[in-house]
Amino acid sequence: RLRALNRLQVILQHLKMFKQTDSTAEVLLEKKGGAGIITLNRPKALNALNLSMIQQIYPQIKTWEQDPETFLIIIKGTGGKAFCAGGDIRAITEAGKVGDKLSQEFFRGEYRLNNAVGTCKKPYVALIDGITMGGGVGVSIHGHFRVATEKTLFAMPETAIGLFPDVGGGYFLPRLSGKIGYYLALTGCRLKGRDVLKAGIATHFVESEKLPALEKDLIALKSPSKEKIADLLNSYHMQCTVDQGKEFVLDEHMEKINSIFSANSMEEIVKKLKQDGSPFAVKQLETINKMSPTSLKLTLRQLREGASMSLQDVLRMEYRLSQACMKGHDFYEGVRAVLIDKDQSPKWKPAALEEVSDEFVDNCFKPLGNDDLKL
């Protein structure tokens, strides 16, 4: 009798999980052993986050956090190309154009999810294999552990589409060593493989093909503590020899990055790059000249202020900025030029840094009263 009853319970448990492990679902939420596993499952869209995925992941993290039988949370992507290439920008663009609520709900939901990751009481392990940008950074960077591989490609490319490095970028970017975070935010520079670890974005580095074994070992840990999880990740990390002797890609430029990107204004950064005149500086100048001047100014201030704020205050500030961008011109123009028409020649308004007034920037940071983000 007892065995029959147990079997029935197992079957019922399977049926309950079946709803969420349906392979066509955009996000799979399952429990294996003591691990809650989140699988981003939109491989054709490079696992970009949409509102419905966010609305499924958030309550599940909160449930697992309270569950005494769940000891850790793992998040990963399917398809082999991307962990998560960002948020579903096209949907937000369409909504924003017609004044649809989605442009508020999406950012509100996304930032609440970023905060849930950042405050999660259970060890949170993100397997950032493949493209990890924007929204994908938001669901990984604030957790305890981020495992990069040789296939990881990290970037915060928002200034190129008239946005700013959100999802808590104002919190983690200024906390990277020196002025790396400012440089990454303003130029959208891409980091690959072991460089993601060296910049301080990942905590561990493991071969891509070893991830299934690592996941299995994580799931097999008996009532694991954060220390036990760290030990396991460290042992995989130590065994990984891929690009081990390679120098950090930004090493030779760090002195320049630290001095140039510590300037107080965008105009000053541009001036310093011009004065420097080295091939590196010229290249950064070319890149910065392609970005939205408004985005650049918002981003520099976002990072300077975020450097001394809590994650929660940063997310509140970023929500205000997101809504300012939804009301502006550059976001829609940037998405058009980069993602829709792909002509890569956005017409920014204003077109020059000097034309973006301090007063305009101040207004973007103003509280929204009852519409402020509640965490």
Burial track 266-295 (b if 16+ CB lie within 10 A, e otherwise) = beebbebbeebeeebbeebbebbeebbbbb
- C-alpha 136/C-alpha 131 separation (Å) is 8
What amino acid positions are annotated as catalytic residues?
A: 87, 135, 158, 166
Q: Indicate the fold that domain 25-371 takes in CATH.
A: 2-enoyl-CoA Hydratase; Chain A, domain 1 (3.90.226)
**pLDDT for position 16:** 54
Looking at this protein, which amino acid is placed at residue 85? A
Percentage of the chain beyond pLDDT 90 is 92
- C-alpha 335/C-alpha 131 separation (Å) is 19
What's the whole-number mean pLDDT along residues 316-344? 96
Q: What is the pLDDT of residues 274-308, one digit of tens each?
A: 999 999 999 999 999 999 999 999 999 999 999 99
Token pair 């996941």: residue: 215
- Reduced to 3 states (helix: H, G, I; strand: E, B; else coil), residue 83 is strand
**pLDDT for position 252:** 97
- C-alpha 158/C-alpha 133 separation (Å) is 9
Q: How confident is the model at residue 24 (pLDDT cuts 50, 70, 90)?
A: confident
Q: What is the pLDDT of residues 221-232, one digit of tens each?
A: 988 999 999 999
pTM: 0.93
Do residues 259 and 228 make contact, with C-beta atoms less than 8 angstroms apart?
Answer: no
Where in the chain are the domains?
Answer: 25-371
